[in-house]
Structure formats: C-alpha cells, structure tokens
C-alpha cells in the first residue's frame, strides 16, 4: 500500500508534478491555449468560468481539438472536433452521441455516452497562475494513443 504516493519512483513523481502553463488573466482572455506538459500536448479551455484541460488530439483519429468549437449538448459543454464533429464533454472527456430506439423510429433521439474517451487533466489556479497536472488515472483512455509515440506531435500546418 502506498496511500500518499511516497513510494513512487522519482521519474513517475516528476511526470505527475504540476506544470505552469500561463497567467490566469491571459487564458481567460484567449479562452484557450495549448501547452506541453511533461512531453504531453494538452489544450486548456476557459469556458463559463471554469478551466478544463484535456489531451489535444481527438481520441477518434487525432484531430486538433484546440481548433474546435465549444457547444452544449444535453446541457453539457462539449468540444466539437473539427475533423468529424465528435462531441467530447469538457468536464469528463466522455464521447457523446445520439441514439434512437430502432423499434420506435418515431421516438426522439437521445443523447448517450460512450464513456470516457479523452483524457482529462487537472487545472489548478494559484495566485493568478494556471498549472496543469497530468491525469494519473490507471485506465486505458482512447486519447492516450495519440498523446504518445509517433502520433503525439501536431503538425504546425493546421
Ligand atoms: Fe475527431 Fe474524427 S478526429 S472526430
């Protein structure tokens, strides 16, 4: 048992140390920034008074989420990927989709969740500075594929 993480090896500890990404007032003004946090590209959104950080590349096929629009679906704020319009909740990283009961085609489509698909990271505000701490949640998240290895760099031509 290692409840406080004190037995983590130093490299792991370093990987999950928070990183300064910018001034609070600047990010509030621009409403989004990109940053590299311990070799992982993330996008930080400021939306309706809250900061949200997630992997920058869409879990579906690596699209550039920092270029998407934020819209509400079923009362939940989502980033809409500019490539194929997948909807990802800012709060949890869930992929949302609409479904309809095939036995009742007249029914209204309902919003459903595919589960967490995009890795969400923690944003901390301290004395006017914004920090991001990478998620250490021990589950396989689809966006991990594009956040690591040869896929992790976004070409500058977007
Ligand atoms: Fe984002 Fe396809 S790459 S929806």
Q: Measure 73 CA to ligand 1 centroid, in angstroms.
A: 17
Contact status, residue 79 vs residue 66, Cβ threshold 8 Å: no
Beta-bridge partner residues of 110: 99
How is residue 41 annotated by DSSP?
E
Which residue's CA is the closest to the ligand 1 atom numbered 2? Answer: 84
83 CB less than 6 Å from ligand 1?
A: yes
**Model confidence pLDDT, tens digit, residues 116-143:** 999 999 999 999 999 999 999 999 999 9
Q: Measure 80 CA to ligand 1 centroid, in angstroms.
A: 9
Please enumerate in sequence order all residues whose Cβ is within 8 A of that of 38, keeping only pairs 6 or more positions apart, or say none: 14, 15, 16, 17, 19, 134
- Provide φ and ψ at 65, rounded to 5°: -65, -25
CB atoms within 10 A of CB 126: 10
pLDDT band of residue 148 (cuts 50, 70, 90) is confident
pLDDT at 1 (0 to 100): 45
ipTM above 0.85, yes or no: yes
**Model confidence pLDDT, tens digit, residues 39-72:** 899 999 999 999 999 999 999 999 999 999 999 9
């Amino acid at each position: 048992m290692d409840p406080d993480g004190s037995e983590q090896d130093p490299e792991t500890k370093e990987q999950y140390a928070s990183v300064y990404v910018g001034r609070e007032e600047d990010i509030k003004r621009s409403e989004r920034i990109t940053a590299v946090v311990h070799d992982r590209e993330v996008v930080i959104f400021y939306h309706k008074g809250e900061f949200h950080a997630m992997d920058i590349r869409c879990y579906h096929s690596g699209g550039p989420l920092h270029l998407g629009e934020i819209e509400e679906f079923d009362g939940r704020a989502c980033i809409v990927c500019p490539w194929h319009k997948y909807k990802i909740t800012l709060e949890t990283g869930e992929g949302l989709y609409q479904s309809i009961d095939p036995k009742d085609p007249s029914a209204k489509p309902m919003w459903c969740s595919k589960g967490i698909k995009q890795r969400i990271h923690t944003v901390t505000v301290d004395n006017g500075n914004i920090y991001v701490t990478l998620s250490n949640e021990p589950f396989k998240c689809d966006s991990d594929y594009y956040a690591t290895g040869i896929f992790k760099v976004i070409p500058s031509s977007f």
